[in-house]
Structure 1
Amino acid sequence: MTQHLADALPTPTGTQPGWWRDAVIYQVYPRSFADSNGDGMGDLEGIRSRLPYLRDLGVDAVWLSPFYASPQADAGYDVADYRAIDPMFGTLHDADAVIREAHGLGLRIIVDLVPNHCSDQHEWFKQALREGPGTPLRERFHFRPGKGESGELPPNDWESIFGGPAWTRVEDGEWYLHLFAPEQPDFNWEHPAVQDEFRSVLRFWLDLGVDGFRIDVAHGLVKAAGLPDLGRDEQLKLLGNQVLPFFDQDGVHEIYRKWRTVLDEYAGDRIGVAEAWAPNVERTALYVRHDELHQAFNFHYLTTGWDAAALRATIDASLDAMRPVGAPTTWVLSNHDVVRHRTRFGSLARARAAALLMLALPGSAYVYQGEELGLPEVTDLPDEVRQDPSFFKANGQDGLRDGCRVPLPWSGDAAPYGFGTGGSWLPQPAEWAGLSVEAQTGDPESTLELYRTALRIRREHADLGAGDAVEWLDAPEGVLMFRRGGFVCAANTTGDAVRIPGAGAVLLASGPVVDPEVLPGDTAVWWQG
């Protein structure tokens, strides 16, 4: 059973499992969760007011996407001050109130940390620009002279994740590296001052009471020596499946070993979670060795389609990779950077089935705000309201990250559906009236009640979430079926009903099941026995 806050004790490295090993962690995207002051933008007070909803949903922890002081060139992932709250979200007092109230409700708080890059409005970077070439502050970033007769060409051929060169030239002729937007200069993690600063930032938030950090671009901090050319065009197509000179370099692991010593200084099992895009699950496992971080996002699972054979292969590979390092596998279907899985999989029925499959697997599960409501991707946002930097780059990206960030519907028949009193920063579809928290609460057929029931069962029964393996059972083609102690989970990824003789009593199903031995198409079932 998931360990609750009142029962939590410090867990020394390499001893008994901590709360995080089978936790269900809910991602809050602050600007789109709840607006307390009517400005159309979600904020910390809005989050605080809705914490009882998350407790009642049944999650163990809440991960907050960035709320730091920022010009918002990339929705807060361009941080100007890591110890300050952006006024659009509130104050440091509000952050303290969220942490304290969450703890009072038995919830833990994980905050986003963005160490690969900062904002071009960060004081270090502004001073580096003022001081000019060869000065100490420039050494904390990647400033280089350009190529060509007069330095008019970028220092190498690296491309930005948002398209175009990963370099921008400044007035004095030097270029600086930014793997993301030009407003997001990369730190030079070879510099001791950068390392010292972030250990200080860790302690600042740990002292405030946070229970851990989700580490943005955890795989990107260290670049290959000499910043060598990649020698390839269309580099964006290589992300996640090839070795790259700017991602997943071995040097990142020494950084996280030092961070682990900081986390272990604090009582209560404080954790680090790596957003690490690695070429394979074996490389991902390196981030969660016993003296490094605690969890790493399983993007290999997130990117697997609704196909039984592919899902089984990914599940096996994920569990097999994590077992030798003693880390839990994580499972995730959606987040703030990808198309919502209801839309990716093609139907609400598949999304509901995928949720039950995920929540039956051993390890920790992540739920992105709104997936418990069955929200689809919003694909028809007007161009004039879009804010995702990738939308404005002429490199073929379609900016669909805005579509998964539309504010939540809480109540009522018209927008903004209880999100706030002053509209919402992205428009909400008219059909979301039927998907609001209010509309779904108490409806046993709703997706919200499916999640509430699934999370309650998961808390009550140690067989779900615990362990590091599944017992696969024979099943018809297109069906996944495995045993977890006294439970069996079956997921039919085909569109046709299949017969499964000897099935047990239905504990929970993602869709209507009339005959326990007949599993409808695109449906998942938890059987007892």
Structure 2
Amino acid sequence: MGDLPGITARLPHLAELGVDALWLSPFYTSPQHDAGYDVADYRDVDPRFGTLADADALVARAHELGLRVVVDLVPNHTSSDHAWFRAALAAGPGSPERARYLFRDGRGADGELAPTSWRSVFGGPAWERVTEADGRPGQWYLHLFDVSQPDLDWTNPEVVEEFQDVLRFWLDRGVDGFRVDVAHGLVKADGLPEWDAATEMITGTLAGQGGESRTPPPMWDQEGVHEVYRRWRAVLEEYDGDRMLVAEAWVDPVERLARYVRDDEMQQAFNFAYLVAPLDAAALRAQVEETAAAMSAVGAPPTWVLSNHDVVRHTTRFGLDLAGGNPDGLGADDVQPDPAVGLQRARAATLLMLALPGSAYVYQGEELGLPDAVVPDEARQDPSWERTGHETNGRDGCRVPIPWEGDAPSFGFGPTAASWLPQPAVYGELALDRQRDVPGSTYEMYRAALRLRRELALGSSTGLSWRTLEGPDGRARGEEHGILAFRSAGALVVANLGEQPVALPAGAEVLLVSGDLQRDAEARLLPPMTTAWLREESPASA
């Protein structure tokens, strides 16, 4: 399973890689029905991962290495093992204990029908009926995710006060911020109105879209969530130093996402519209421009991401013949990606993303170019696998432990060959020790990119200046030809996402390139699906 001391031992890798902070997925006490996102105790460490002392040691060591620590907070729901939910089941209908959750009477003559037609993100209905203490079928509780994850009622002052106290508990222990799970889902529309559409979150359909009208569904992106985050921001500001909230908010359009990062709410919000956008120059430029405009309007930086623990790794996505979005995790019988094509495209997309102004997130293992793993059906653990009757493969493929040593048991993850999800053989070839100090390796490309990103102040750039370049025929090449070229801070960035090479500006110094350049008699040519960072001789004339 891994543990907190294991992470502490690997922190030098993150310092060497060049990131600024570490975001940890949940390590709290949990029955692990959903990889720790079913929290039974928000103020303790699950014994399988260590102790509170281990968490303190991790934070202290990270700070020694100049790394910030962001922890995951799961406020939309608790585990069904949480003391509050156990008390709610015991107390019965109408009790203060049940008022912390969304319990409702069922429809029908005997309450045998669910209160609404709402569906779980993981498949199946979003309501579960309980058996009351006297043995009779009773009320229903809402669970937008797994049945083991009952949703909290954020209109209840006890819930509000509890999570403010949880924030302070971890801030007192030195954490630097919180990634807020399902940040758009805490507050539901008054009366829980009927809604019978699917509630997608991790595909190309964003949860807040609500059809052509883009009206948010009653369970997502409700106005009341913003009052929650204004209160949380006030809590963070009680503490010295630079503390942060980042929203996992699957909402659309980006103007609604920007409302989560107004100056009295959160500091960052993941840009999932960029993640699911196709690897197409025109589409990406439009997304960058829309994001920049929306975030600038509220004085917040954009936040870019290509992979995370809920989506197919971008090395695999880009190796498939897809027009964007996020496919279901791969099964053994599915069409498999072209690994060479996927890695080439992923490297190009990475250098493009890391050059954009704002914050950028790197998901564990993408610095090694890891593909999604094809997890055998019998080893799958994502609750969506069972809840959809094995129709959805789920997210296990992106969560397989990463490889540290090519020849070690479980590639250095643990002392034996066992790992909580099975690792594919190709991970041994991509292990850290096979790539460190190897020129041109994906790991060394990431190290160089993160170093240059800091040196050139790309992340803190105030904006982009778009450019066109010349093709081999001397004609201008722009996004209609698959070329994205822009100046950001101290660099000229050229991403060739088209089908033909493009000439790089004469005299420009190549700082970093995602692949190999081509040359002809007169110019250096950037091949298709390749990105370069350049320094021009006379930036003032650009």
Query: Is 2:456 aligned against 1:461?
Result: yes
Q: Which one of 364, 367, 377 corresponds to residue 372 of structure 1? A: 367
Distance 1:319 1:292 in 2: 18
CA distance in 2, matches of 1:394, 1:108: 38
- Within 5 Å, give how 1:408-419 maps onto structure 2: 408-413=402-407, 415-419=409-413
Pairs within 5 Å for 1:382-461:
382-394=376-388, 397-413=391-407, 415-422=409-416, 423-461=418-456
* Partner residue of 1:517 out of 509, 512, 524: 524
- TM-score under structure 1 normalisation? 0.90
Q: CA deviation at 1:305?
A: 1.5
Deviation at 1:499, TM superposition (A): 2.7
Which residue number corresponds to residue 539 of structure 2?
none
In the alignment, what sits opposite 1:16?
none
- Given that residues 215 and 274 in structure 1 are in contact (C-alpha distance below 8 angstroms), is that contact kept between their aligned partners in structure 2? yes
Contact 2:511 2:535 in 1 (8 A): yes
Report the CA distance between 1:396 and its aligned residue.
7.1
Deviation at 1:241, TM superposition (A): 2.1
Per the normalisation by structure 2, the TM-score is 0.88
CA spacing shift, 1:468–1:240, aligned 2, 3 Å: farther
Of the three residues 181, 186, 193, the one matched with 1:221 is 186
Contact 1:440–1:448 at 8 Å: present in 2 too? yes
The one of 298, 306, 311 aligned to 1:325: 298
Counterpart Cα distance in 1 of 2:515 and 2:392: 33
User: Which moved further from structure 2: 129-138 or 471-480?
Assistant: 471-480
Partner of 1:180: 145
Could you tell me how far 1:430 is from its partner in structure 2? 1.1
- Is 1:260 the counterpart of 2:267? The answer is no
Q: Higher relative contact order at CA 8 Å, sep ≥6: structure 1 or structure 2? A: 1
Letter in 1 for 2:266: L
Name the % identity: 60
Counterpart-to-counterpart distance in 1, 2:462 and 2:250 = 22
Other-structure match for 1:31: none
What's the counterpart of residue 315 of structure 1? 288
1:355 to 2:359 alignment: no
Deviation at 1:70, TM superposition (A): 0.2
2:276 is the alignment partner of 1:303:
yes
Q: CA deviation at 1:445?
A: 1.3
2:310 maps to what in 1? 337
Per-residue CA deviations over 1:278-316 (Å, capped at 9, x if unaligned) read 121000000000000100000011111111111101111
Deviation string, structure 1 residues 474-513 (Cα, Å, up to 9, x no partner)? 2421011100133100111124322344461111000011
Question: How many corresponding residue pairs?
Answer: 486
SS of equivalent residue, structure 1 residue 204: helix
Assess if the C-alpha contact under 8 Å between 1:219 and 1:275 holds in 2. Answer: yes
Partner-residue secondary structure (3-state), 2:85? helix
Aligned residue for 2:362, secondary structure, equals: strand
Alignment RMSD, CA only? 1.3
State the 1:414 CA deviation.
5.4
Provide the C-alpha distance between the structure 1 equivalents of 2:378 and 2:433, rounded to a whole number of angstroms: 30
Residue 239 of structure 2 aligns with an amino acid whose one-letter code is Y
Q: Which of structure 1's runs of 4+ aligned residues deviate more than 6 A?
A: none
Consecutive unaligned residues of structure 2, counting only runs of 5 or more, are 133-137, 211-215, 320-341, 470-476, 537-542
Partner of 1:527 in structure 2? 534
